Chains A and B, each alone.
Chain A
């Protein structure tokens, strides 16, 4: 290496160059073993596979599309929520733009204490909402969704969040997969962040959504282990939701219902072309609360409620086993492993941390850009999403540290104290019953 070049290259790179690959693998074993394989290799292998069968898939899609329009099924769009009145008019406008229009719109107001009932009734009177139902006493999101389900008449149920907006073909595209395979019981939509410009917090989530929801779910769907249909945008066969008797008490009820559908023998798939935009929390405080709730539900549902998926039984299916195992392994087990890894670094390489930390940031940034490249391949909004690229280097802190810390706290809370039952997201009357009955 020439002296000039040595001068330009940072000290920590020279260090890693001099110590060789053995030490690199020893120090970054966690990254190489778990993250490189999962997030990079899998991404590109699946992307290649996806592209390999692109034409085949396109042909199947067009056939299914023709069958869909030929049947033109009646669909129930249901939107349960509390204090969502301010979003309802925009939502009806967004739905009015849909290419598919043969649906009824059912809004359930779960005990709102703002002007939602006035707005909802007014929109119903004006014919913009087909059925507005209100519970004077809040029952929680599951009961609100079940109420909508009870009065829905469609062959398919599309569940939305009120603060979302949709691409014009979103509802059409989320329903077409049902016509590709009759074993499909539910389809998840592609949820993206609308308010990325609002704050750094929202921008980082926008990148996270692209990687984990858009690309991550394409891959898990391709592998047949797709295990969470977002509550913001998901479609269900009405007969399937009836057979599993709708939603159970949350939080985390969207993941729960997906597992219930899978356990009843139906497939769940992700449809990337069914795009829905939502507002992500713009403050870290709000985001932390949201993620604590989500992460606690992994323990509550994936580890406790649906533990039968891991055990041999008549209904045992490998796809369900892997779907949940992958989820629990990559979230819970690797989270614990990460802490062990940190202990390993601190005890064994304390003197080298000044070289390890910058290298860590460097490799995660490189990986981050590689992942962004894969999202670029899949995305229908490539150019618009380019503005997120400058923030990719910050993702190693966001996902690698911040989200891991939040996750660890959530797991401890749920594993030791079952804190999810105390979450104000659900009314006490429901949570106490769920806790007493072990749901």
Chain B
């Protein structure tokens, strides 16, 4: 089933809210068809069948819509095998719900900055783009994991969710294509041998006769009789229980004194060929093809990390020139949190205040939107970044800052007194006005408002402000 078709034909929504985030709850792959996934902050799959779960993962990951195929995806059932769970963002039972929510928020924040999708791309370009976007949004390398079901013996998180296990060689081949090398940093974790007929990796290696490839090999020790310099297979010497030299008829009594065993010899029971060497051949378990080792195809299985070019590709796509998304640049501001997470943390601070006797303060910075309408997107991005950096300069390490959009910023000052909050308000107000006044010709009127309030544990209206 095509995920794009699902989006075009929304039938029935089954959402559940967790800490202010809307999660689509998918219980069957049939029910899944009715969900409008674009509005979901994430997806919880609630089904015990690995097959159904795999189908749902495939529907999501094979979408052409960025906000769908990169959607945070969690499995709830304990009965789903690990190799399927690894295709999602985790099993909720394995990680706490809070972690899942936090993870979703972080992923969604990064997804927002992405402006490229896979429309119009061929398979290989689509695979590369999705890979860079996955690594970028999850902020972790793509690490292959062992999977017996996969034809190459390995699967990749995310990619294996929509590419069949029989076609995993395409993943290796496309990722290692020279023209895409600039986007990734590779680290080889294994090398796989593949059947040159069916490209399967499950092979049996065995020693065969170098002359006729028969498996019927008999190995014997060679015996060297020191006294007369005769040397031959052990069977030449065997007479009942004794060892008698066929050259000089002497009894061999003592290894190291009378004789030694300097090597071995193999005799083929099929063609009688004798040799110390044997040939190694491989037999494919999947297709039964028998081959010389030199005919086996070798591939590297690698962990992937994205480079700066890869990060750019994730955001802009192939050949598109768009403004760089600002979000990742705020990673340097330690106090910064994404808006969704910030909302949760403000909610948690209100709960905490019910148990503690201290005060906490909450501030909002509101830009007069209309005044900034004439600015282009790039300037707005720079201005937004400057505002965040200036505010963050005056915050304590425990304080938090976030923004909802270009015109709305908020900050939280846990365990702060009124005086500190008031000073903070004045400082921010003065500095931001100076920033704007010095750089942008705005004309008259109020360009921004800074408001700081003491949080009241009984008054949750502040949360409404954040919606």
Contacts and interface: CB of A to CB of B under 8 A. Distances in A.
B190 interface: no
A124 B232 CA distance: 21
A218 interface: no
A133 interface: yes
Interface in A115-169: 121, 124-125, 131-140, 142-144, 146-147, 150-151
Contact of B229 (A121, A246, A432): A246
Interface residues of B, number: 24
Given A131-B274, A132-B277, A137 B260 contact: yes
Given A139-B229, A142-B229, A146-B231, A134 B263 contact: yes
Given A132-B277, A133-B265, A134-B263, A139 B228 contact: no
A433 B229 CA distance: 10
B262 interface: yes
Contacts of B230: 143, 146, 245-246
Most chain A CB within a 10 A radius of its CB, from B226, B227, B229, B233 = B229
B224 interface: yes
Interface string B126-140: 000000000000000
A430 interface: yes
Nearest to A153: B274
Interface in A224-258: 245-249
Interface string A404-439: 000000000000000000000000011011100101
Interface in B205-249: 222, 224, 226-233, 236, 247-248
A420 B233 CA distance: 29
Nearest to B258: A433
Interface in B255-275: 256-258, 260, 262-263, 265, 274-275
A430 B229 contact: yes
Contacts of A137: 224, 260, 262-263
Contacts of A146: 229-232, 247
Interface string A327-356: 000000000000000000000000000000
A236 to B, nearest CB: 16
Contacts of A136: 262-263
A111 interface: yes
Q: Is chain A's binding surface mostly helix, strand, loop or mixed? A: mixed
A347 to B, nearest CB: 48
B431 interface: no
A123 to B, nearest CB: 11
Contacts of A249: 228-229
B230 to A, nearest CB: 6
B276 A132 contact: yes
A195 to B, nearest CB: 30
Most chain A CB within a 10 A radius of its CB, from B222, B236, B248 = B222
B228 A248 contact: yes
Most chain A CB within a 10 A radius of its CB, from B226, B230, B233, B256 = B226
A40 B93 CA distance: 107
B224 A139 contact: yes
B229 A248 contact: yes
A397 B66 CA distance: 97
A433 B226 contact: yes
16 contacts: A131-B275, A138-B262, A139-B231, A142-B229, A143-B230, A146-B229, A146-B232, A146-B247, A147-B231, A150-B236, A151-B265, A245-B230, A249-B228, A429-B257, A434-B227, A439-B228
Given A139-B224, A432-B226, A433-B227, 20 more contacts: A132-B277, A133-B263, A137-B224, A137-B263, A139-B226, A139-B229, A139-B262, A140-B229, A143-B224, A143-B230, A146-B231, A147-B222, A150-B232, A246-B247, A247-B229, A248-B228, A248-B229, A429-B257, A429-B260, A433-B258
